Amino acid sequence: MTSTDLISIHDLPEGEVHEIFAVARDVKAFPERYSGALNQKTLAMLFEKPSLRTRVTFEAGMTQLGGHAIYLAQDVGLGKRESVRDIAKNLERWVDGIMCRTFAHKTVTDMALHAGIPVINGLTDLLHPCQALADYLTLIEKFGDLRGRKIAYVGDGNNVAHSLMFGAAKLGMEIRVGTPAGYEPNAEIVSSAREDAKRTGGKVEVVRDPFEAVRGVDAVYTDVWASMGQEAEAANRAKVFPPYQVNSKLMAAAAPHAVFLHCLPAHRNDEVTDEVLDGPQSVVFDESENRLHVQKAIMILLMGKR
């Protein structure tokens, strides 16, 4: 892997996306082979947002690879108590990699610009690449080669939707994003994903009708209607998004073998019903587990060569 950071799936050559999956599958199948892969390595984890999956999977992953992770919470004061540049310049002297879970995407890009060590995007308001890579690893486990497969994302055109579009485009898949007017994904992200898709035979569509989005697809994905930082919009969004709820009727429009995905945490019986979330088509906890394996692969590929 020639990339020095993981900020966006869009930045990765297609071969490196497949390399991450190959290493992740090997790590998952043969964890003992990698127990010392990051021996004596340290990952600094910077968090501006609450976390269950991101914190546990990165910290457990580092431990299982023979390394160590340091949790740095909001009191670090990214860009407030100390500039992002100065934090990056300090951390590069002490640790071997940085993972950031932040609000502003610029925080992560600035960290990567100024740090001479690998930087991993654990989530920003714009993108969530580690989640999308775990999602597609889950689909690879279910379906094998994903080229030509179809996935629908229904709901808010948020950071998860953006990274899913980039991932689908790199893998030669068709993705349909079904979202109400005013909540579409970022137009620049859509354009960039479509450019990626031209090279792989993939397709990126944005539609209004959730049933049009879901019709005949292999996988149906949703996320919360109001993400972290959008709490003030929650009441209004709760009036707009009910037609986009993933329920048994919407799932029935997908292919019979279709699976259901959600990045979690879920607001049960808002964006998805209990019947679907806990039903036989749901692979949400497989996705959650695969965060660990994908992120271990990313850390091995980025930090193991130092």
What does the pLDDT read at residue 81? 83
pLDDT at 301 over 90: yes
How far apart, in whole angstroms, are the C-alpha atoms of residue 47 and residue 243?
34
Task: Give the CATH number for residue 171.
Answer: 3.40.50.1370
Residue 128 token pair: 């969530």
What does the pLDDT read at residue 6? 98
Amino acid at 87: I
Are 281 and 294 within one domain? no
**Residue 214 included in any domain:** yes
Question: In the annotation, is 128 catalytic?
Answer: yes
How far apart, in whole angstroms, are the C-alpha atoms of residue 158 and residue 78?
23
Residue 131 token pair: 């989640």
Catalytic residue, chosen from 10, 101, 149, 237, is 101
**Residue 3 included in any domain:** no
Are 24 and 112 within one domain? yes
Q: What is the pLDDT of residues 196-221, one digit of tens each?
A: 999 999 999 999 999 999 999 999 99
Residue 306: pLDDT band by 50, 70, 90 thresholds?
very low
Catalytic residue, chosen from 96, 291, 293, 295, is 291
Looking at the structure of the chain, the number of domains it has is 2
Catalytic residue, chosen from 149, 223, 262, 270, is 223
Among residues of the chain, what percentage have pLDDT more than 90? Answer: 92
The neighbouring-strand residues paired with 206 are 177
What does the pLDDT read at residue 226? 87
Question: In the annotation, is 101 catalytic?
Answer: yes
What does the pLDDT read at residue 234? 87
pLDDT at 104 over 80: yes
**Residue predicted with more confidence, 293 or 49:** 293
**Residue 36 included in any domain:** yes
Q: What is the pLDDT of residues 217-233, one digit of tens each?
A: 999 999 999 887 777 88
**Residue 57 included in any domain:** yes
Are 98 and 213 within one domain? no
Are 165 and 86 within one domain? no
pLDDT at 73 over 80: yes
Are 143 and 282 within one domain? yes
The neighbouring-strand residues paired with 207 are 178
Residue 305: pLDDT band by 50, 70, 90 thresholds?
low
Question: In the annotation, is 131 catalytic?
Answer: yes
Question: In the annotation, is 176 catalytic?
Answer: no
Question: What is the overall mean pLDDT for the chain?
Answer: 96
What does the pLDDT read at residue 85? 95
Catalytic residue, chosen from 5, 263, 270, 293, is 263
pLDDT at 86 over 50: yes
Per the structure, the complete domain to which residue 31 belongs is given by: 9-128+289-303
**Residue 169 included in any domain:** yes
**Residue 4 included in any domain:** no
Catalytic residue, chosen from 96, 105, 110, 131, is 131
pLDDT at 147 over 50: yes
What does the pLDDT read at residue 152? 98
Catalytic residue, chosen from 55, 128, 237, 293, is 128
Question: In the annotation, is 223 catalytic?
Answer: yes
Question: In the annotation, is 33 catalytic?
Answer: no
pTM to 2 decimal places:
0.96
Are 166 and 266 within one domain? yes
How far apart, in whole angstroms, are the C-alpha atoms of residue 264 and residue 227?
11
**Residue 2 included in any domain:** no
Are 278 and 135 within one domain? yes
Among residues of the chain, what percentage have pLDDT more than 70? Answer: 99
What does the pLDDT read at residue 122? 98
Question: In sequence order, what DSSP letters do the residues of the chain get, joined into one string?
Answer: ---S-BS-GGGS-HHHHHHHHHHHHHHHH-GGGGTTTTTT-EEEEEESS--SHHHHHHHHHHHHTT-EEEEE-GGG-BTTTB-HHHHHHHHHHH-SEEEEE-SSHHHHHHHHHH-SS-EEEEE-SS--HHHHHHHHHHHHHHHS--TT-EEEEES---HHHHHHHHHHHHHT-EEEEE--TT-PPPHHHHHHHHHHHHHHT-EEEEES-HHHHHTT-SEEEE--SS-TT-GGGHHHHHHHSGGG-B-HHHHTTS-TT-EEEE-S---BTTTB-HHHHTSTTB-HHHHHHHHHHHHHHHHHHHHTT-
Q: How many CA atoms does the CB half-sphere of 81 hold within 13 Å?
A: 7
**Residue predicted with more confidence, 273 or 1:** 273
